Chains A and B, each alone.
Chain A
Amino acid sequence: MSGQDKTQTIATLMIFLLAATLLLTPLSSFVLGYNNTQQYFNVTLTISNSPPAIQAVGAASDTPNEGTTKAVTILFNVTDDNGFGTVDPTLATANVTLNGVTRFSSSCSDYAAWTGGTTRGVTCTIDMNYYDESGLWTIDVYAIDDASSNATQDEGNNLTYNTLYAFSLTSNSISFTAAGAGVNNVNASDDPQTLNNTGNGDFATINVTADELTNGVDTIGAGNFTINSTDDAKGIALTANIIIPSANLSRNTTQDLYVWVDVPAGISNGSYSTNASTQWLVEAYN
Chain B
Amino acid sequence: MVSGSLQLKIMKKFFFILFLTIFLSSQTQALGVAQDYLKDNTLRLLQGQEHVLKLTLQNPQEEPVTVTLVINSEIATIINPNQTYNLPAKSFDTEIFLKIKAPKDAQIGDAHKIIYSITPQAKDNNGGMIGMNMRLTRSFDVLIVDENGVGTKPKKLNYYYLSFTIVLFFVIFLLWKRSNIISKKLFRKK
Expressed in whole angstroms, the Cα–Cα distance for A199 and B34 within the complex equals 9
Confirm or deny: B33 has a beta carbon within 8 angstroms of a beta carbon on chain A: yes
Count class of interface residues, chain B = 35 or more
Expressed in whole angstroms, the Cα–Cα distance for A14 and B140 within the complex equals 106
Among the 9-residue stretches B24-32, B154-162, B171-179, the one with 4 or more Cβ atoms under 8 Å from chain A is B24-32
Confirm or deny: B36 has a beta carbon within 8 angstroms of a beta carbon on chain A: yes
Q: Which of B27, B32, B125, B136 contacts A172 (CB 8 A)?
A: B27
A263 x B29 contact (CB < 8 A): no
CB distance from A19 to the nearest CB of B (A): 84
- Given contacts A163-B35, A282-B132, A283-B137, is CB(A173)–CB(B20) below 8 Å? no
CB distance from B8 to the nearest CB of A (A): 12
Expressed in whole angstroms, the Cα–Cα distance for A220 and B19 within the complex equals 12
- Given contacts A277-B122, A281-B135, is CB(A178)–CB(B32) below 8 Å? no
Kindly list chain B residues whose C-beta atoms are within 8 Å of the C-beta of A67: 30, 60
Q: Which of B29, B32, B134 contacts A283 (CB 8 A)?
A: B134
CB distance from A257 to the nearest CB of B (A): 10
Interface size on A, residues (CB 8 A): 60
A276 x B58 contact (CB < 8 A): no
- Given contacts A162-B34, A285-B137, is CB(A274)–CB(B17) below 8 Å? no
- Given contacts A181-B16, A281-B135, is CB(A271)–CB(B21) below 8 Å? yes
A61 x B36 contact (CB < 8 A): yes
A163 x B38 contact (CB < 8 A): yes
Expressed in whole angstroms, the Cα–Cα distance for A170 and B28 within the complex equals 5
A282 x B133 contact (CB < 8 A): yes
B130 x A276 contact (CB < 8 A): yes
Interface membership of chain B positions 39-55, coded 1 if the CB is closer than 8 angstroms to chain A and 0 otherwise: 10000000000000000
Expressed in whole angstroms, the Cα–Cα distance for A264 and B23 within the complex equals 21
B33 x A172 contact (CB < 8 A): no
Kindly list chain B residues whose C-beta atoms are within 8 Å of the C-beta of A64: 34
- Given contacts A165-B136, A173-B23, A272-B19, is CB(A65)–CB(B58) below 8 Å? yes
Kindly list chain A residues whose C-beta atoms are within 8 Å of the C-beta of B16: 180-181, 269
B123 x A198 contact (CB < 8 A): no
B20 x A198 contact (CB < 8 A): no
Confirm or deny: A55 has a beta carbon within 8 angstroms of a beta carbon on chain B: no
Confirm or deny: A27 has a beta carbon within 8 angstroms of a beta carbon on chain B: no
Confirm or deny: B166 has a beta carbon within 8 angstroms of a beta carbon on chain A: no
Confirm or deny: B10 has a beta carbon within 8 angstroms of a beta carbon on chain A: no
B37 x A174 contact (CB < 8 A): no
Confirm or deny: A176 has a beta carbon within 8 angstroms of a beta carbon on chain B: yes
Expressed in whole angstroms, the Cα–Cα distance for A211 and B84 within the complex equals 24
A68 x B60 contact (CB < 8 A): yes
A175 x B34 contact (CB < 8 A): no
Expressed in whole angstroms, the Cα–Cα distance for A166 and B59 within the complex equals 10
Kindly list chain A residues whose C-beta atoms are within 8 Å of the C-beta of B134: 167, 169, 281-284
Interface membership of chain A positions 96-129, coded 1 if the CB is closer than 8 angstroms to chain B and 0 otherwise: 0000000000000000000000000000000000
